[in-house]
């Protein structure tokens, strides 16, 4: 063994440097690179599986929200005493029926405001009624159908079915339940969910997606004939799974997430949302990343090897030159070059060699012996460490409450309250969504107009407003610059006058800036107070009051001191606020 080691032990500096490179750099980087590449591949698969799970949960939540809306409408229909009275009434002639239908428009309202509803069918046993929007007589075909008999048997409980509509012949996902008032059967309700709505939700999932009802496929994306293989694999998988709430995993062929949909009041129906992706596609993506990682490692090795080879070649040539010169000097041949290339320790050694040679040459000429002191030199090699900096790579309750208030107002035929709630809901949503630093001027003016609509509904004919946008294009503007000024005009000016109040908003393009003017004919501002306010806006005095001063500070901070507000007012006649901001044009593709 010792003889074998001696035989293969490096003998030259060139061989030793290559051995050091392989032992210290090549092998560790190869091992670390292999470990990291395997981890990257596993992380890719884990990340994709988590994406499928999150996407399935999000899609399941959207489907649950859609079905909850249908259940909420069915509850309103179930509790509608006017509907029960209409259904039980025996009418003498078609005119009475027509008049009764004219007075009952709830079904039409539901279809208008709930886009997820395809149609509403209430099947009633009243020969004096005619087919109309939502009301249909019970035919023999309907009364003998399984879903109709099952709905009556369940006595008001909700049952979901994927059935063919008796009118259009198209299959829909339907909520079915029997309606009772005072223990008497009112009719059987059938609310169909819009196929387009469900397909849109599934389409937005981004993966192969199934929606099953009682373990029977009702919807899929893409259509099931295009993904029959994935569906059959899912069916085989489902036969071997007990699903409590959700499961996920990876088989040889598919990576999947099965999410149980928790639909309230649906004790007799079992929905599952299933998101799948072929495992081969995930592995292919992970392998692609792995190949890139291996290529990167190979590229690093190639570069470092070339650099090392270039260094060794230059270094070895200089060492050989030094060795040759030393051999000549040792044998008394002093014909060596005066200098050697480079500026490192070898250069210093060579210089000392040349000095030694000169000394030896002098000693031979003068026949004196000189002692030559040998010096030790150390070659220090430092490795630089580089650190990679890594960067770390919804209010639904309020909206639903406002929507419930609006629907109650509609049911009570109070359209004015319903309109106010609708505008307020939009206004609040817009306000909560305004998180960008800047937004289009047209969008901000639309927000202002919704605020003014609420004021118009509040004050009626006492308030009039007009908005003039005299611009050839749209511009970016900071949010909440105009609205506080408009609100001040109402609070401090228009609300206090006895006559009709007028508010005008005008936007003009002046040279390279925008001029926004807010005029009102309110009570105006007292001269002393106006002078104090103007000083605050100029920055001559400090003020802790928010409102217009806040707007002024935001404008100057964001746009510069050359922009801002000016205010002019005459007591008893009104106030004019002029705002000056730069023109920041919205370019194509800007959000």
Higher-confidence residue of 138 and 377: namely 138
> Is the peptide bond preceding residue 92 cis, with omega within 30 degrees of 0?
no
- How does residue 373 score in pLDDT terms, banded at 50, 70 and 90? very low
- pLDDT mean across residues, the chain: 77
Say yes or no to pLDDT of 217 above 70: yes
Structure tokens at 31: 């091992």
Residue position matching structure tokens 């001269």: 527
- How does residue 588 score in pLDDT terms, banded at 50, 70 and 90? low
Say yes or no to pLDDT of 114 above 60: yes
Task: Identify the weakest region by mean pLDDT among 78-82, 343-347, 481-485, 541-545.
Answer: 541-545
With beta carbons less than 8 A apart as the criterion, state whether 447 and 427 touch: yes
Instruction: Give which of 70, 85, 101, 88 is closest to 189, Cα–Cα.
Output: 70
Say yes or no to pLDDT of 376 above 60: no
For 27-39, write each residue's pLDDT tens digit. 676 777 667 667 7
Task: Identify the weakest region by mean pLDDT among 147-151, 391-395, 409-413.
Answer: 391-395
Say yes or no to pLDDT of 73 above 90: yes
Say yes or no to pLDDT of 540 above 80: no
- Neighbour count for residue 275 (Cβ, 10 Å): 28
pLDDT for 374 equals 37
With beta carbons less than 8 A apart as the criterion, state whether 259 and 273 touch: yes
| Mean pLDDT, residues 36-58 | 78
Say yes or no to pLDDT of 406 above 70: no
pLDDT for 246 equals 61
Alpha helices in 137-263 (DSSP H): 140-143, 146-154, 195-203, 228-239
Dist CA 230 CA 234 (whole Å): 6
- How does residue 426 score in pLDDT terms, banded at 50, 70 and 90? low
pLDDT for 240 equals 52
With beta carbons less than 8 A apart as the criterion, state whether 364 and 336 touch: no
Dist CA 444 CA 423 (whole Å): 15
What is the distance between the terminal CA atoms of the chain, rounded to a whole angstrom?
A: 74
Residues ≥6 apart with Cβ < 8 Å to 11: none
Say yes or no to pLDDT of 174 above 90: yes
pLDDT for 250 equals 67
| Mean pLDDT, residues 107-123 | 90
Of all residues in the chain, the percent with pLDDT exceeding 70 is 66
Say yes or no to pLDDT of 9 above 70: no
Higher-confidence residue of 557 and 412: namely 557
Residue 475 three-state SS: strand
Burial (CB < 10 A; 0-12, 13-18, 19+), residue 191, is buried
| Mean pLDDT, residues 229-254 | 61
208-213 and 216-221 beta bridge pairing: antiparallel
- How does residue 377 score in pLDDT terms, banded at 50, 70 and 90? very low
Helix H, strand E, coil C: the string for 38-63 is: HHHHHHHHHHHHHHHHHHHHHHHHHH
pLDDT for 184 equals 85
With beta carbons less than 8 A apart as the criterion, state whether 246 and 258 touch: yes
- How does residue 414 score in pLDDT terms, banded at 50, 70 and 90? low
With beta carbons less than 8 A apart as the criterion, state whether 481 and 554 touch: yes
Top mean pLDDT of 44-48, 339-343, 446-450, 560-564 is at 560-564
| Mean pLDDT, residues 172-187 | 90
For 308-323, write each residue's pLDDT tens digit. 777 777 776 777 766 6
pLDDT for 425 equals 65
């Amino acid at each position: 063994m010792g003889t074998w080691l001696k035989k293969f032990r490096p003998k030259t500096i060139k061989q030793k440097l290559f051995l050091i490179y392989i032992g210290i750099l090549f092998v560790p980087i190869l091992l670390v690179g292999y470990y990291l590449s395997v981890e990257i591949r596993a992380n890719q698969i884990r990340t994709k599986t988590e994406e499928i799970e999150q996407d399935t949960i999000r899609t399941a939540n959207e489907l649950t929200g859609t079905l909850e809306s249908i259940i909420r409408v069915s509850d309103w229909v179930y509790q509608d005493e006017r509907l029960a009275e209409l259904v039980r009434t025996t009418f003498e002639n078609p005119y009475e029926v027509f008049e009764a239908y004219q007075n009952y428009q709830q079904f039409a309202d539901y279809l208008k405001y709930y886009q997820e509803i395809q149609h509403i069918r209430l099947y009633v046993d009243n020969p004096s009624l005619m087919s109309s929007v939502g009301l249909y007589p019970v035919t023999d075909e309907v009364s003998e159908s399984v879903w109709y008999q099952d709905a009556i048997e369940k006595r008001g409980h909700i049952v979901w079915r994927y059935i063919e509509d008796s009118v259009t012949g198209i299959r829909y996902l339907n909520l079915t339940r029997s309606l009772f008032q005072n223990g008497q059967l009112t009719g059987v309700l059938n609310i169909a969910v819009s196929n387009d709505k469900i397909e849109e939700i599934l389409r937005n999932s981004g993966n192969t997606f199934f929606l099953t009802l009682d373990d029977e496929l009702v919807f899929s994306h893409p259509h099931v004939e295009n993904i029959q293989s994935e569906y059959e694999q899912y069916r085989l998988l489902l036969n071997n799974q007990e699903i409590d709430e959700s499961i996920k995993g990876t088989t040889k062929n598919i990576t999947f997430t099965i999410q149980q949909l928790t639909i309230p009041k649906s004790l007799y129906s079992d929905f599952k949302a299933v998101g799948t992706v072929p495992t081969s596609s995930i592995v292919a993506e992970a392998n692609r990343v792995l190949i890139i990682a291996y290529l990167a490692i190979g590229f690093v090795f190639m570069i470092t090897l070339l650099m090392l080879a270039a260094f060794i070649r230059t270094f070895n040539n200089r060492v050989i030159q030094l060795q040759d010169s030393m051999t000549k000097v040792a044998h008394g041949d002093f014909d060596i070059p005066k200098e050697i290339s480079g500026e490192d320790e070898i250069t210093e050694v060579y210089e000392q060699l040349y000095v030694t040679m000169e000394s030896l040459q002098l000693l031979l000429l003068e026949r004196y012996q000189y002692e030559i002191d040998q010096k030790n030199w150390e070659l220090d090699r430092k490795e630089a460490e580089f650190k990679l900096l890594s960067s770390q790579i919804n209010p639904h309750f309020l909206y639903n409450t406002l929507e419930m208030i609006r629907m109650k107002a509609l049911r009570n035929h109070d359209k004015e309250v319903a309109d106010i709630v609708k505008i307020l809901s939009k206004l609040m949503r817009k306000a909560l969504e305004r998180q960008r630093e800047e937004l289009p001027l047209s969008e901000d003016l639309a927000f202002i107009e919704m605020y003014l609509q609420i004021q118009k509904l509040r004050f009626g004919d006492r308030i009039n407003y007009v908005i003039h946008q005299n611009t050839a294009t749209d511009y970016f503007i900071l949010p909440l610059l105009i609205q506080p000024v408009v609100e001040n005009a109402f609070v401090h000016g228009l609300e206090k006058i006895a006559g009709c109040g007028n508010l005008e908003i005008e936007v003009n393009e002046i040279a390279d800036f925008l001029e926004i003017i807010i005029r009102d004919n309110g009570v105006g501002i007292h001269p002393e107070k106006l002078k104090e306010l103007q000083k605050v806006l100029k920055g001559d005095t400090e003020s802790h009051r928010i409102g217009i001063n806040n707007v002024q500070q935001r404008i100057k901070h964001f746009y510069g001191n050359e922009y801002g507000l000016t205010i002019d007012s005459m007591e008893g006649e009104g106030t004019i606020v002029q705002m000056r901001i730069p023109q920041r044009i919205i370019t194509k593709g800007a959000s």
